[in-house]
Amino acid sequence: MEKFTRLTAIACPLAVENIDTDQILPARFLKLKRDGAHAKALFHDLRFDASDNEQPQFPLNQSPWRQAKIIVSGANFGGGSSREAAVYALFDYGIRCLIAPSFGDIFSQNAAKNGLLTAVTGESDNEALIAALNRDTSQTVSVDLEAQTIVCGKLSIHFDIDAARRTRLLNGWDDIDLTRSFHAEIEAFKAAHVRQQPWVIPGHGQSD
């Protein structure tokens, strides 16, 4: 997994709440394989009209936001469906950091597994950041995961992230190897679990 430490890039504001994963990646693109055209599918029905022409009013279709690696959005970004392909679409487009007052729980978990930072800001900080980006569209935003800060011009704000997610992103860690290092604990747990509650096994107590 790609590491995340610091990033300075163009940030695109999407100042609406409840951008669910059906908006980020419409369901008909769920069939795409991982090496498929996920970048094109990102925000597809917001970015393009029915004849596949760009919708000029959508921020990501405007310069310089087209080049954004950061998106700043309203609350509850990525709520809804658990589709990890929503993260693939953002990542493949080039987005590496999302900033919002809150995220869908499954979405931010998926993001962390793919090297995409979800930075949680306070409501008023978020509004100030969006206002700053709208005032001067060409300025960059710097995100520092170690210091947990976001800097945009004179504005400097703090963001929250779960400790374990932060460690994972900073190191580019993959969980599987970590989990396998607990092999003995897992085996011991399983044996005790089934002994104490034998009914956890499907069909327990059936004669055949």
Partner 1 sequence: MNQPNTTPATLFDKLWASHEIVARDGESLLWVDRHYVHEGSFHGFNQLDRRGAKVAEPALTFGVADHYVPTHRSAGGPIANPEIARMVDTFNKNVANHGIRSFGLNDRRQGIVHVVGPELGLTLPGLLIVCGDSHTSTHGALGAYAFGIGASEVAHVLMTQTLWQKKPKRMRITVDGRLADGFGAKDIALSIIAAIGANGASGHAIEFTGAAIRAQSMEARLTLCNMAIEAGGRCGMVAPDATTFAYIEGREFAPKGEAFERAVRDWSQLATDPGAQFDHEVRIDASRLAPVVTWGISPEDALPIDGRVPDPAGETNADRANYIRGALDYMGLTAGEKLTDIAIDRVFIGSCTNARIEDLRAAAAVLAGRVSKVPGMVSPGSSSVKRQAEDEGLDRIFREAGLEWVDSGCSMCVGINGDIVPSGERCASTTNRNFRGRQGAGARTHIMSPAMVAAAAVAGHLADVRPLTVGRKV
Q: Residues in the site for partner 1, rule: CB under 8 A? A: 15-18, 20, 22-23, 26-28, 30-31, 33-34, 45, 50, 74-76, 79-85, 87, 102, 104-107, 109-110, 113-114, 162-164, 167, 175-176, 178-180, 182, 185-186, 189-190, 193, 196-207
Q: State the minimum distance, in angstroms, from the CB of residue 61 to partner 1.
A: 17
Nearest to 162 by CA among 152, 148, 144, 150: 148
Give 138 or 207: the residue with its C-beta nearer to partner 1: 207
Q: State the minimum distance, in angstroms, from the CB of residue 1 to partner 1.
A: 9
Classified as helix, coil or strand, 164 is helix
Nearest to 84 by CA among 119, 113, 60: 113
Give 10 or 85: the residue with its C-beta nearer to partner 1: 85
144-170 burial: b if 16+ Cβ within 10 Å, else e: ebeeeebebeeeebebebeeebbebbe
Q: State the minimum distance, in angstroms, from the CB of residue 6 to partner 1.
A: 21
Report the C-alpha gap between 120 and 2 in whole angstroms: 20
Give 43 or 65: the residue with its C-beta nearer to partner 1: 43
Tokens (6 digits) for 11: 């940030």
Report the C-alpha gap between 127 and 120 in whole angstroms: 13
Q: State the minimum distance, in angstroms, from the CB of residue 86 to partner 1.
A: 9
Give 53 or 199: the residue with its C-beta nearer to partner 1: 199
